[in-house]
Amino acid sequence: MESNLYKFCLRLADTSFILSYRLGEYVSHGPFLEEDLSITNVGLDLIGQAESLFKYAAEIKGGGITDDDIAYKRDESEYLNFHLVEYPNEDFAFITVRQFFMDVYNYHLFTALKNSSDPTIAAVAAKSIKEVNYHLQRSRKWMLRLGDGTEESHNKIQYAVNELWKYTDELFDMDAIHKSLIEEGVAVDLKEVEKSWIKDVLEALGEATVTKPEHVKHSLVYGKNGGHTDFMGYILTDLQYLTNRYPDAIW
Amino acid sequence: MENSKNLEVFQAKIDAEIKIEPKDWMPDEYRQHLIRQMSQHAHSEVIGMQPEGNWITRSPSLRARKILMAKVQDEGGHGLYLYCATETLGVTREQLIQWLHEGKAKYASVFNYPSPTWADMGAIGWLVDGAAIVNQVSLQRTSYGPYSRAMVRICKEESFHQRQGYEIMATLMEGTAEQKKMAQEAFERWWWPSLMMFGPHDGDSPRSSNAMKWKIKRETNDDLRQQFIDKTIPQAELIGLKIPDANYKLLENGSYETSDIDWDEFWNVIKGNGPCNTQRIKQHAAAHDNGQWVREAAIAYNEKKEQQLKSA
Amino acid sequence: MSTDNQGPIWEVFVQSKPGKPYKHVGSLHAYDKEMAIENARDLYTRRNEGTGIWLVKAEEIVSVKSGDEESYFEPADDKIYRHPTFYNMPEGSKHI
């Protein structure tokens, strides 16, 4: 039976990890060279965040397991990332909205987690917040450029917001694991994070002349509980290709 | 008459190792040569992102993943420095990209080979970047200021690339039998193409003489190739890789003699018949086309904001 | 009609440490100021090269025209009295 803290770590780590996977996939596909390089920097920050948390998870789990073992050698149902970050790089609008939703979330989450009673979590949050602050500045500005750019870009960004909105309720869900960690002072109240998230997101959507869609809840088990979209299987097939094919190899 | 005096001043500067700057007078041929060479160099960096980008998502460890992503990002950065340097000659980046898509501009043929295994990440970093570095170190002294400055910056950044590639190869050669095989095969795939990167023999290189006179190029293709061979063979032997050349031997002067390159293969890939020529350009053109609405949005947004600022 | 382009060129100046002068490091394309400063950060300070960045649109830079160099810079050649080495100091004098 894995500890709550271990699961909490993985929820954070896997979300950053899978999002960095998507950004890694986008390298050399950007709309122009400068943007290609900038978005890769975001991906690199996210791998760094994931790595710190995988290290901590490995420490919690013990028994000589490594961060790479955890990152690469689990079954799909043991990955605990949000559905939102599994969503493919459909186009630059989807990439931007996905990033913006996550950046606002991470900004408020990590700001609160800086005061976590767990010193490692607090330290990761304190380091990450500087990076996230920058990511948010970037993705927010892109929301405005695309929303208030041309008719075509406006339609594309509105469509991406409509499609991705349904994945956002997972971000604020608090199950028994989460609640017990709040009591220990490790995790934070996601209702508070949600309030700030909604405020910031609505403000940006307003500036970007994009409308908030009606909330439709989908019925899939949340990623943070090990349920995944169809996209996840393909991600893992690719990500785990070498470690599956050559389980004994060191790279 | 004006022209011949200009030409004299220009050549005198070159001879005195004074860099030529964008606003200086230069012969049209010099300008055209630079545009061709620098844009080809830039395109090579950018197209070169693809064979390695191919493996970012499949990188087998967190460390390898970060490194590869940062490395491919660097290639893009180097392409960007070079595009900007080329633009100082009075040509736009749009134009350069258009020429690439139309097949009017070339890029290094080496990137028209596929990268089927993880070991190719090692071989590319070690051999392809290694060959590029030999060339680029020499180009730091090129006569055109912006090109030279870009090269200085690029050489500083590239120094980790070759090491990361060699590290991958060395790790594989210490690994399982399958890993060793993977490394040897990748080495064999990239050895000859990396030697081809230095271009044809100097006698067969159509534009070599002016490029040397104007100090755009500082060393000959064959000299640079030999430097690379002499560095690389001992590195290969050190980690137990076999050189895919039955005739290579160490000479008394410490240099290596190798078989001649298969020049038919070289010209064939240049003509566009490499395994990945079409694929590389298609991917670049697709990214460019898919980005059009994004660029247009950025332009439109900025115009709107500037309008608002003016009318406020 | 397409209005597609790569955006204007910006020149990038980076300060390597507090107190040091800003030095030209290269150029980039960006469609607006915010993008320019962000791209400059992502391009030219990835390896801790800087503590400050200046951006200026390339078209707004003023420079000495080609051909004017002689009349601009050579007149300074014979004004060696502007340099401390021009002056004769008595032998044995210190701290001057």
C: neighbours with 3+ CB pairs under 8 Å?
A, B
Calculate the alpha carbon distances from B64 to A120, B111, B164, B238 in Å: 24, 21, 9, 22
Give one DSSP letter per residue of B113-133, joined into a string.
Answer: S---STHHHHHIIIIIHHHHH
Instruction: Find out whether B120 and B51 touch, Cβ atoms under 8 Å.
Output: yes
Whether residue A141 lies within 8 A of chain C, CB to CB, comes out as yes
Cα(C48)–Cα(C16) distance, integer angstroms: 8
Distant-in-sequence, close-in-space partners of C67: CB < 8 Å, separation ≥ 6: none
Whether residue C30 lies within 8 A of chain A, CB to CB, comes out as yes
Q: Structure tokens of A204?
A: 């940006």
Kindly list the residues from chain C whose CB atom is less than 8 angstroms away from the CB atom of residue A34.
28-30, 35, 39, 42-43
pLDDT digits (tens, 9 = 90+) for A111-148: 999 999 999 999 999 999 999 999 999 999 999 999 99
Cα(B140)–Cα(B81) distance, integer angstroms: 14
Domain C9-63 classified CATH 3.40.190.10? no
> Which residue carries 């002294």 as its tokens?
B141
pLDDT digits (tens, 9 = 90+) for A47-84: 999 999 999 999 999 999 999 999 999 999 999 999 99
pLDDT digits (tens, 9 = 90+) for A31-47: 999 999 999 999 999 99
List the single residue in B80, B299, B301 with the smallest CB-CB distance to C43: B80
pLDDT at A189: 98
Q: Which residue ranges make up each domain of chain B?
A: 2-274, 276-312
Cα(C55)–Cα(A2) distance, integer angstroms: 51
- Dihedrals φ, ψ of A3, to 5°? -75, 160
Interface of C with B (CB under 8 A): 2-7, 9, 25-29, 31-32, 35, 43, 46-47, 63, 65-66
CB contact under 8 A, C32 and B298: yes
With 0-12 CB in 10 A as exposed, 13-18 as middle and 19+ as buried, what is B177? Answer: exposed
pLDDT digits (tens, 9 = 90+) for B173-216: 999 999 999 999 999 999 999 999 999 998 877 666 788 999 99
CB contact under 8 A, C66 and B92: no
Query: How does pLDDT run along chain C (96 residues), one tens digit per residue?
Result: 567 899 999 999 999 999 999 999 999 999 999 999 999 999 999 998 999 999 999 999 998 887 788 888 988 888 888 888 889 999 999 988
3.30.465.10, 2.30.29.30, 3.30.70.1400, 1.20.1260.10: which CATH number matches B2-274?
1.20.1260.10
pLDDT at B1: 54
pLDDT digits (tens, 9 = 90+) for B13-53: 999 999 999 999 999 999 999 999 999 999 999 999 999 99
With 0-12 CB in 10 A as exposed, 13-18 as middle and 19+ as buried, what is B8? Answer: exposed
Nearest residue in chain B measured CA to CA from A50 = B62
Nearest residue in chain C measured CA to CA from B75 = C43
Instruction: Find out whether C14 and C23 touch, Cβ atoms under 8 Å.
Output: yes
Instruction: Find out whether B222 and B213 touch, Cβ atoms under 8 Å.
Output: no
CB contact under 8 A, B77 and C32: no
The residue of A32, A33, A34, A35 whose CB has the most chain C CBs within 10 angstroms, and thus the best one to mutate to test that interface, is A34
User: What mean pLDDT, rounded, does chain A reach?
Assistant: 97
pLDDT at A165: 96
Instruction: Find out whether C13 and C25 touch, Cβ atoms under 8 Å.
Output: yes
Cα–Cα–Cα angle for B19, B21, B26, rounded to 5 degrees: 95
Task: Say if residue B227's pLDDT is above 80.
Answer: yes
Q: SS3 for A211?
A: coil
Percent of chain B with pLDDT over 90: 90
More confident residue, C96 or B81: B81
Q: SS3 for C12?
A: strand
Kindly list the residues from chain A whose CB atom is less than 8 angstroms away from the CB atom of residue C32.
145
Calculate the alpha carbon distances from B164 to A32, A143, A180, B160, C8 in Å: 27, 37, 44, 6, 35
- DSSP 8-state code for residue B259: P
Distant-in-sequence, close-in-space partners of C82: CB < 8 Å, separation ≥ 6: C76
Task: Say if residue A218's pLDDT is above 90.
Answer: no
Instruction: Find out whether A142 and A117 touch, Cβ atoms under 8 Å.
Output: no
Kindly list the residues from chain B whose CB atom is less than 8 angstroms away from the CB atom of residue A36.
76
CA B130 centroid distance within chain? 10
- The ipTM estimated for the assembled molecules is 0.96
Q: How many CB atoms lie within 10 A of CB B93?
A: 21
Whether residue C4 lies within 8 A of chain A, CB to CB, comes out as no
A: neighbours with 3+ CB pairs under 8 Å?
B, C
Domains in chain A with CATH codes: 4-245 (1.20.1260.10)
pLDDT at A21: 98
Whether residue A249 lies within 8 A of chain B, CB to CB, comes out as yes
